[in-house]
Structure formats: structure tokens, C-alpha cells
Structure 1
Amino acid sequence: MSCAVRDLELPSEPGIAYVAGEERTVQAVRAHLVRDRGWPRASVLVKPFWTPGKRGME
């Protein structure tokens, strides 16, 4: 995961995070926000749009 996400200044109270992108990346961002930042899992919504080596995400 990018240092940009780890270094991001977030509000003191969790809000809602919408994360879209490559499957492993959005999972890593969600894990960071939940595990390291203490956000409720239900507050981090992810939408993977692609996975290397797979065609379509339907």
C-alpha cells in the first residue's frame, strides 16, 4: 500500500471511506483503515474494478 494512504491526515472521528481500484489495493486500504486506524469495517466501502489476470468482475 502507498505511503500516501498511511500518511493521510484523517478526521478524529471516522466517517465513510469509498475505495475503488485494483482488488488487492482496495483490500489493503480497507485493512489499514480498520486495523491501524480503528475505523469500523462497515464504514469502509470498497469496489474492486479489476484483478490482474482476470477478465471482468461480474
Structure 2
Amino acid sequence: IPPTSNRCERLFSQCKLVMTPQRSSLLPINFEMIEFLRANRKYWDAYTLMGIEVADADD
């Protein structure tokens, strides 16, 4: 069996933390969005989200 990369193993570990019994009814698209945001956390922060909310409120 070929070994998997550490990055892949970390992703599976993070997914396990999201898929808890309390979130058993989580839709696949919502799960995908949560994991995408967690994996790309270095590209966004609270200020980015606040800017998006302000821009949406202006429209």
C-alpha cells in the first residue's frame, strides 16, 4: 500500500472534526464550503468577511 501525503492525512483529520453526530444533517455542499474555507484560511480573515458584508449591504 503506497503511503499518503501528510497534507492529505491532515485534510481527512479536519473533515472528521466537522462531521460530528450533531452535524449529521449537514448538506454535502455546506460541508464542502466549510472545508474549502478551512483549507484556505490563509487567504481570508475577519476583515475580509466584514468587507464582503458591507459590500452586500450597500447593494
Category of TM-score, reference length = shorter chain: under 0.3
More strand by share: 1
Q: TM-score of the superposition, structure 1-length normalised? A: 0.26
Structure (1/2) with the larger helix percentage: 2
TM-score (normalised: structure 2): 0.26
Structure exhibiting the larger radius of gyration computed from Cα positions: 2
